[in-house]
Structure 1
Amino acid sequence: MGDILVGACSWTDKELLSSGWYPEGHRGAEARLRYYTTRFPLVEVDATYYALPSTRNSTLWVERSPAGFRFDVKAFSLLTGHPTRPGALPADLRQAATGRHGRAEADPALLDEVWLRFSGALEPLLRAERLGTVLFQFPPWLAPGTTATSVLRQCRERTEGWPVAVEFRHPDWWRPDRSAFTFDLLTELDLTAVAVDMVQSLPTSIPPVTPVTSDRLAVVRFHGRNRAWGTGTKEERFRHRYTPEELSSWTPAVRVMADRAREVHVLFNNCCGDAAVRAAETMSRLLGTPSAPDRTDGPDSPRRRRPPSGSAPAPS
């Protein structure tokens, strides 16, 4: 069975910082990360979606984390087709990037430069074997079709050699009549499919399928089950405290995913107060996973695992 790593989708969220989860004496940037790594073996970096990462920050993350710890890094918004403010770009790119409606225009030259800087900034994580995966969370308007398939192929070409996970926000990707095509495409490109837990009563709800499309890594992200998903403030969208019963319904599927991939990342995105870290603590107990990294081997370690085949049973 592959390793199962559990963590939260941020260690710097303002609501988490004010929740009291970090003890006294652990309020500075370095102390926070060092404390977090004693509690979990994995974290998702969401700040890289809003602004390009820097080599300096990646280097500091490596220095402040132990061997075996994993950072899953969200791709910058411009690289996933989301609206991007020119102010989110480095100063020397802003003027050339300003387009209509005050958004950065994704012209080829700009994209080339952004891809170059984004990948360069992650090199310290990659060299230190701290990079778990790069998460490409595509917008809800990226529906299955010829254009979307081309986007995925271009994404893989740009990220050759990287571990990459893909989360779709358009539900048609995992509808019963489309899921086999999606599975085959991601498997062909060696892109990890991200399984999602979210409220299931909305037209935009992503089905709770658990495909394993890469034998290196499988990923599950828990967004909470608030009906305000897609509307309202961030706190309204993500305000949900998972019960042990809700999390227990996922443990069989997670274990099956671990039979099919060398590493499984379980991440909590219900970032409202300390809800995400508390859910991660509960899930760690339910799965019996370590609370801190105790390995130096990663998703590409040469251990023999059963190859991926279809989906694990969906949770109830």
Structure 2
Amino acid sequence: MGDILVGTCSWTDPTLVRSGWYPTGRRDAEGRLRHYGERFPVVEVDSSYYALPSERNSRLWAERTPNGFVFDVKAFSLLTGHPTRSAVMPDGLPADARDPGVLDEVWARFTAALAPLRQAGRLGSVLLQYPPWFRPGPRAEAVLAETARRCQGWPLAVEFRHPSWWQRGRTEATCTLLARYGMAAVGVDMPQGLAASVPPVAPVTTPRLSVVRFHGRSPAWQGGNKEERYRHAYDGHELAEWVPRLHELAERVEQVHVLFNNCCGDAAVRAAEKMTRLLGTSPAREAGPPAMTWTRFAPAPRPGADTHRR
């Protein structure tokens, strides 16, 4: 039975900071991360998508969190084919993913920035979130192969945003492709019934890791602005739907990362707290030497449903 780690997709979101979840005296950069690390065992670093992270920050993150805590780091936008602002490119490099020299340099800097987390055993995964126009086909397979080569030995998790990757008749091929490169498939919870809706699959493609990201179920997902799309407070019923499936995943992998991306105010941390309770245990509350131990979740009765479909 693997461990289920529950957390959120950011600990620095401005709306979370303004929500009052962080107590007085712990609202500076160090205090926020220490406070978060006392309550959850995993967090996703989303700032690394918008700008390359630094070795200094990675070192500080490792120092400010308890033993056993891990970071899932979202890959820089250029590395997954997203539009990237020239202003965030290092040393005036063009934001051109088609230039092999540019890609080599950006990958080198991204790799160096994560070195302190890897050395400290705090790198949970690198999240490769591909854009909605990244569809199945030879070009996409070549990109995955090249990424696997560059990141050999890293824990990688892949989230596809185009629904065709997980549609009926394609799921097995997608699982085989990711398994070939040792990449963990990322399942998602999001609004259904839209053209862009990714089915709520939860496949296993590597025995080391499975990741599920909860994007919320806002009706404004299609057409709303970013805050409107992610503004959703999960209720107990919505979360309970996933509990048997998360336990089922934990029976097949070493770790399951459950990450809430409904980052609007304190909605994500409240959902993560609810999910922790629903799963049957709570993490230790105090961080301190020599280490923090995270309790393993007990298995739940198997529901008998296919893990690939809800």
Contact 1:52 1:118 in 2 (8 A): yes
Partner residue in 2 for 1:300: none
Partner residue in 1 for 2:79: 79
Could you say what the CA RMSD is over the residues aligned between the two structures, in angstroms? 1.6
Distance of 2:50 and 2:309 partners within structure 1: 32
Contact 1:62 1:124 in 2 (8 A): yes
Distance of 2:274 and 2:20 partners within structure 1: 18
Distance of 1:282 and 1:177 partners within structure 2: 35
Unaligned residue ranges in structure 1 (runs of 5+)? 98-102, 298-309
Q: Does 1:266 align with 2:258?
A: yes
Distance of 1:219 and 1:24 partners within structure 2: 33
* Runs of 4+ with >4 A deviation: none
Letter in 2 for 1:193: A
Contact 2:194 2:222 in 1 (8 A): no
The structural deviation recorded for 1:291 is: 2.4
Q: 1:171 to 1:46 in 2, by over 3 A?
A: same
Unaligned residue ranges in structure 2 (runs of 5+)? 285-290, 296-304
Distance of 2:294 and 2:227 partners within structure 1: 36
Contact 2:232 2:262 in 1 (8 A): yes
Contact 2:79 2:97 in 1 (8 A): no
The structural deviation recorded for 1:69 is: 0.1
The structural deviation recorded for 1:232 is: 2.6
Distance of 1:252 and 1:190 partners within structure 2: 25
2:58 alignment partner, SS class: helix
Alignment of 1:14-29 (within 5 A): 14-29=14-29
Cα deviations across residues 249-303 of structure 1 (Å, max 9, x unaligned)? 0001100100000000000000011000000000000002442484499xxxxxx
The structural deviation recorded for 1:228 is: 1.9
The size of the alignment, in residue pairs, is 295
Q: Does 1:251 align with 2:224?
A: no
Q: 1:296 to 1:19 in 2, by over 3 A?
A: closer
Q: Does 1:211 align with 2:203?
A: yes
1:265 alignment partner, SS class: strand
The structural deviation recorded for 1:233 is: 1.9
Partner residue in 2 for 1:237: 229
Distance of 2:222 and 2:112 partners within structure 1: 32
Q: Does 1:10 align with 2:5?
A: no
1:129 alignment partner, SS class: coil
Q: 1:313 to 1:249 in 2, by over 3 A?
A: farther
The structural deviation recorded for 1:105 is: 4.8
Q: 1:143 to 1:311 in 2, by over 3 A?
A: farther
Partner residue in 2 for 1:194: 186
2:213 alignment partner, SS class: strand
Distance of 1:42 and 1:240 partners within structure 2: 21
Contact 1:134 1:163 in 2 (8 A): yes
Q: Does 1:89 align with 2:81?
A: no
Q: Does 1:312 align with 2:304?
A: no
TM-score calculated relative to the size of structure 2: 0.92
Contact 1:202 1:227 in 2 (8 A): no
Distance of 1:178 and 1:18 partners within structure 2: 43
Cα deviations across residues 129-172 of structure 1 (Å, max 9, x unaligned)? 11000000000000101111111111101100100000000000
Contact 2:188 2:213 in 1 (8 A): yes
1:184 alignment partner, SS class: helix
Letter in 1 for 2:145: R
Cα deviations across residues 165-224 of structure 1 (Å, max 9, x unaligned)? 000000000001111100111111110000000000210100001101010000000000
2:5 alignment partner, SS class: strand
Distance of 1:210 and 1:63 partners within structure 2: 33
Distance of 2:172 and 2:111 partners within structure 1: 31
% identical aligned pairs:
59
